[in-house]
């Protein structure tokens, strides 16, 4: 991959069966998995569901999956297929000590996102603004198909040259393709509408998201304050602590 471009698309990287099998497992977990309304990054946290919104309107449901947890053989192979390619690309920059150090201190994890029809979208943002001298890469896979499963919901990627590209129209990605892109690139997801002939909605997965690990104290506080079924009772405490500047 050319670092100045910041992304590469691999067409038909996953088969229809691989995509549907993985998404079906995620749909089942979304119904039954534990719920927490904060992101937790440690080497011990279990997979969980996060009803996530940037405001007070329901926008998305996320599933956070961690590589240290046990998953089905199908899911493990799905992760490894994407991460193996990403790691092969990044190997070209591993001789740089600053890049290697930055990569090693971040925790790899997976974010599955189910967008709520008619309200789901994602504001423009960057996932990384650290000192790595070469791209830290992450992999995006669409798990449902436009327009059958959803309309709208386009993923927009702002390149290093300042151009904003449509994932569907400019890059040409669809269900099963693999987009590998630099975490520093600004991206967003437009408002999601209903599909024309199916009810899956908009599903996608970001494989190889990375973040700094939480301290033991902070991860314990997050689990205590933000996990269901206690969250309706503990959120005032969490809010008060945040107003006091306590990082929870």
How far is 13 from 87, CA to CA, in rounded Å?
16
Instruction: Specify burial of residue 243 (Cβ count, 10 A radius: 0-12, 13-18, 19+).
Output: exposed
Residue 206, pLDDT above cutoff 80: yes
pLDDT in tens, 102-154: 999 999 999 999 999 999 999 999 999 999 999 999 999 999 999 999 999 99
The pTM of this model reads 0.95
- Give residue 3's pLDDT band: very low, low, confident or very high (50, 70, 90): low
- pLDDT at residue number 248: 87
pLDDT in tens, 43-68: 999 999 999 877 778 899 999 999 99
Neighbours of 225 (CB within 10 A): 22
- pLDDT at residue number 5: 81
Instruction: Specify burial of residue 47 (Cβ count, 10 A radius: 0-12, 13-18, 19+).
Output: middle
38: cis peptide before it, omega within 30°?
A: no
pLDDT in tens, 160-176: 888 999 999 999 999 99
All domains of the chain, ordered by start, with CATH? 7-213 (2.60.120.620), 217-248 (no CATH)
DSSP-derived secondary structure letter, 37: S
Which letter, b or e, does each residue of 68-92 get, where b requires 16 or more Cβ atoms within 10 Å of its Cβ? eeebeeebeebbebbbebbeeebee
């Amino acid at each position: 991959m050319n670092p100045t471009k910041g992304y590469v698309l691999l067409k038909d990287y996953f088969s229809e069966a691989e995509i549907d099998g993985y998404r079906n497992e995620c749909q089942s977990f979304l119904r039954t998995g534990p719920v927490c309304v904060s992101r937790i990054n440690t080497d011990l946290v279990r997979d969980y569901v996060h009803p996530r919104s940037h405001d007070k309107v329901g926008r998305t449901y996320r599933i956070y999956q961690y590589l240290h947890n046990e998953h089905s053989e199908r899911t493990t192979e799905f992760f490894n297929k994407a991460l193996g390619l990403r790691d092969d690309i990044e190997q070209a920059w591993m001789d740089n000590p600053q890049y290697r150090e930055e990569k090693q201190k971040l925790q790899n994890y997976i974010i599955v996102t189910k967008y709520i029809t008619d309200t789901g979208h994602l504001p423009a943002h960057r996932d990384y603004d650290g000192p790595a001298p070469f791209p830290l890469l992450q992999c995006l896979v669409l798990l449902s198909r436009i327009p059958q499963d959803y309309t709208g919901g386009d993923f927009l990627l702002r390149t290093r040259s300042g151009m904003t590209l449509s994932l569907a129209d400019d890059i040409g990605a669809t269900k099963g393709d693999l987009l590998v892109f630099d975490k520093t690139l600004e991206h967003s997801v437009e408002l999601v509408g209903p599909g024309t002939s199916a009810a899956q909605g908009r599903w996608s997965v970001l494989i190889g998201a990375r973040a700094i690990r939480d301290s033991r104290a902070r991860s314990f506080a997050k689990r205590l304050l933000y996990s269901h079924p206690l969250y309706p009772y503990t959120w005032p405490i969490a809010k008060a602590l945040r107003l006091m500047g306590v990082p929870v």
